[in-house]
Amino acid sequence: MLRRVRLAGIALVALALSAAPANHKTRAVIFVMTDGLRWQEVFRGADEALITKDQGVSDVEALRHEYWRESPQERREILMPFFWHDLAKAGQVFGNRDLGSDASVTNNVNLSYPGYNEALTGFADPRIQSNDPIPNPNVTVLEWLNLKPAFHGRVAAFAGWDVFTSILNSRRAGFPVSAGFQPFLESPVTPRLEFLNQLKAELPRLFDGVPFDSIPFYTALEYLKQKRPRVLFLSLGETDEWAHRGDYPQYLHAAHQVDDYLRRLWSTLQTMTEYRGTATLVVATDHGRGDGTNDWKSHGARLPDSRYTWMAFLGPDTKPLGERSHIAPVTQNQIAATIAALLGEDYATGKSIADVIP
């Protein structure tokens, strides 16, 4: 009997070890989403039709000097230098429809809550049709991972938009969720976190329920340094907020700043022994936007083109295939399973992106 128990134990260990390939290296995933950043700017750079006085650009020449170049490749590299000089060359980028690489949501409403739910749970829930702050009935891949012994207490989420307390169902989730203007009080509250909480309370509240991106970013970065999570989710909101206001210069500046945040995150990971050579960075957006001089400001079911998105992956297990072209479409509901697979886990909901995982 004892021998059978021992053999069963050995079999379970063998099964656990065989869950991931022998050469599997990813031990941590950092998942960053920036709200409503169009694929057009990501792959083509600044849109000349929107750098005009008619679009409310007060200093056209200054904006052109900063972000306009003659070729799309030059424009996108000046807008998002880390994304194109580092991430794209060493990882994989999906969603350039000009090259036959489609990425899109499947929820049919092209709104934020449905998009985040789809990315984080692996399916589009027809019950989620708006941005109303209703606690998510679905378990996200973050919550699912946190329930596993190897990840329990090693998952955390940081977001600008206060609705994330509902999207992630923070009361049920079991891991730290920082969103909106509420102070982050997860122990240890370092002097830097105290200062960030103070800034969060005192800075002007220009957007409804969304602080400036610097607040969730630096809060997440401090937590990363202090707690060393295996899964960290970060959502930034300014790209969407400035677009809805029709402020194209600030929209471009926000995209440029997001790129710099990605650079800082990645460079920080390379300085930490827990992450260097074992962390994968995943970057995506929750929905696209309309095209043209009016529709770019918005998104939703009435603008079918706003279903088009993009996503990118950089890490030790992802082959450096660069900017993908002429491939089968990828969809938002594949992200959750891909994140799990990168960590050596089999997430039953959604189909992972095969080219991204070992």
**d(C-alpha 307, C-alpha 258), whole Å:** 21
**d(C-alpha 282, C-alpha 91), whole Å:** 10
Q: At the topology level of CATH, where does 25-356 sit?
A: Alkaline Phosphatase, subunit A (3.40.720)
**d(C-alpha 76, C-alpha 43), whole Å:** 6
Count CB atoms within 10 A of the CB of residue 139. 17
By CB atoms closer than 10 A (0-12, 13-18, 19+), residue 300 is middle
Helices (H), 124-185: 141-146, 164-167, 170-173
Asked if 357 and 140 count as a contact pair (C-beta separation under 8 A), the reply is: no
**d(C-alpha 139, C-alpha 46), whole Å:** 37
Q: Name the nearest CA neighbour of 318 among 139, 10, 92.
A: 92
**d(C-alpha 143, C-alpha 156), whole Å:** 10
Q: What is the pLDDT of residues 104-116, one digit of tens each?
A: 999 999 999 999 9
Q: What is the CA radius of gyration of the chain?
A: 20
Q: Please report the sign of the dihedral spanned by the C-alpha atoms of residue 141, residue 143, residue 148, residue 151.
A: positive
Residue 195 DSSP code: H
**pLDDT tens for each residue of the chain, 358 residues long:** 444 434 344 344 333 433 556 789 999 999 999 999 999 999 999 999 999 998 889 999 999 999 999 999 999 999 999 999 999 999 999 999 999 999 999 999 999 999 999 999 999 999 999 999 999 999 999 999 999 999 999 999 999 999 999 999 999 999 999 999 999 999 999 999 999 999 999 999 999 999 999 999 999 999 999 999 999 999 999 999 999 999 999 999 999 999 999 999 999 999 999 999 999 999 999 999 999 999 999 999 999 999 999 999 999 999 999 999 999 999 999 999 999 999 999 998 999 999 999 8
